[in-house]
Amino acid sequence: MSGAQERALPGPARRLLARLEMPLSRAFDGVHNPMHHLGALTIFFFYVALVTGIYLFIFYRTSLEGAWASVEYLTREQWYAGGIMRSLHRYASDAAVITLGLHIVREMIRGRHKGPRWFSWLTGVPLIWIVLWFGISGYWMVWDELAQYVAVSSARLMDWLPIFTDPMSRNFISNEAVSSRLFTLIAFIHLVGLPIIAVLAIWFHLLRVRRPRINPTRKLMLGSLVALLVLSVLMPVYSHAPADLDRVPLSLDIDWFYLAIFPLMSVTSEGMVWLIAGGGTLVLAALPWLPPGRKTPAAEVHLPDCTGCGFCAEDCPYGAIDMVERSDDRNFKLEAKVNPDLCVSCGICTGSCPSSSPFRQRRPLTTGIEMPHFTMEDFRQQIDIAAEKARGAVLVFGCDHGPRIDRVAGPKTHTVSLPCVGMIPPAGIDYAMRSTGYSGVAIAGCEGCDCHHRLGDDFTRQRIERERQPSLRKRVPRERLLTVWMKAGDETRLDRQLTEFGKHLADLPGDEQTSDSRQSGRREEVQ
């Protein structure tokens, strides 16, 4: 590894998280691991809640007398459709809170909330409040004893804030004080206002993310829906008794996912609840800067090597590269320009640049766009460092955020760890086999749909399979190339696969490359 490279190895918390997720990866074949799709699953569960909510609203009556009765009719009389829809609506909403919470914790543990990613984190914090208000307003609409408790408690919370002239609690001092217009207002907020706000909030949350994954895999969607349906049939949701403001409910079945703040208020105070909620929100919002982190180096463009092809701008997962009008006298229309505030230092742009080729003879070797802390010259030096011993050895490319490839290094392996395997130019694989004599090349990247830099694993696969430019040349023997995708901490399985790969290489016909062909490979230059 080059001394110029700053490694960002997974810490104990991230490695522990990866180990906890391994059984799920084995059970769901990695790609379908629900932990890899928490944000998309949250959106999917809200899709389910939206569809079921529309069905429920068709039969819902926005009046004091009809609210509870219409919901009760759906639950009891139309149990085969409306009852299941209501239960599915409830459980999908609860599932969204679970996946949202796990998504927040997981991104925080993996450090994907700092640096240029602060925008997505900060714009995601208001979504927590929006989701909670979704659930709270939905419970109001049932107008049973639980809705009464939620309404009275919500009014007390709002009255603590000095923003209303008249206390909201006056609207719930008796049954006569409640108007049917309340249910029209709550229905509008729950079915129109909050969904519009949520869509806008999600749009802002994903504004700086290119190719966002807003849908989980089909198998995961189908499996989640079936699980929710089974739960809805086995444990149907029922209403409490009708709301009666003239008496206090004695026993309530609290939905702790949405209503936990109200029991907390009962044992503390309204001010304490606001302090905890407001303070917690501020702490979450400030996490990207707590503690202050070291700024990651941004990619740098070398105009003499940039042809303005636009591959780097197309592949950048965070939109940190724009193609602008040419600023030099070369006969190209465009050039790449990097926005340092958006660059996460993944190096995927280097792997996408056609001029990223170790075959080139320039010293020092440069390319159209590269990372200052791990240049193309560093990349070639790492491949060449064991060239004299390369005959019969395996070159292993790894990811700083995946399994520790240095722990599986041996006399027959040479390892190069990169910020992301998406940084590997296809010509680098060709160079390792043709010009340095490695018997095979292995690429060990993050598990499917769990790339630390989002798209590095996908782009690497597509370049190898010649589905994306620049692509791996046909002359590269695919039987001498191994790709493995696994989590940090899974070094034992990686070592086992590398051992099997070594045996596979030993069974192949001898390397037919002569010294002359390797020398001709070294003289090759990609323009």
Q: Give the pLDDT confidence of 298-332 residue by residue, as tens digits.
A: 999 999 999 999 999 999 999 999 999 999 988 89
The domain spans of the chain are: 31-242+253-289, 300-523
Question: Which architecture characterizes domain 31-242+253-289 according to CATH?
Answer: Up-down Bundle (1.20)
Q: What is the pLDDT of residue 43?
A: 96
Closest CA to 398 of 371, 381, 418, 425: 418
Q: What residues have CB less than 8 Å from 249, skipping those under 6 apart? A: 145, 146, 148, 149, 240, 241
Q: Stretch 341-359: mean pLDDT, rounded?
A: 95
Question: For residue 410, is pLDDT > 60?
Answer: yes
Q: What is the pLDDT of residue 453?
A: 93
Q: What is the pLDDT of residue 8?
A: 54
Q: Stretch 427-446: mean pLDDT, rounded?
A: 91
- C-alpha 502/C-alpha 497 separation (Å) is 9
Phi/psi of residue 180, nearest 5 degrees? -65, -25
Question: For residue 163, is pLDDT > 90?
Answer: no
pLDDT in tens, 360-386: 988 889 999 999 999 999 999 988 886
- C-alpha 137/C-alpha 150 separation (Å) is 9
Lowest mean pLDDT among 9-13, 57-61, 269-273, 447-451: 9-13
Question: For residue 5, is pLDDT > 60?
Answer: no
The residues facing 440 across adjacent strands are: 394
Closest CA to 350 of 327, 329, 373, 330: 373
Quickly state the pLDDT bin for 133 (edges 50, 70, 90).
very high
Q: What does the block give as tokens for 505?
A: 């290489």
Kindly tell me the sign of the dihedral angle through the C-alpha atoms of 422, 428, 433, 436: negative
- C-alpha 249/C-alpha 262 separation (Å) is 14
Angle, helices 456-464 vs 426-434, to 10°: value is 60
Three-class secondary structure of residue 191 per DSSP:
helix
The pTM for the full model equals 0.91
Q: How many helices (H) and strands (E) does the chain have?
A: 19, 8
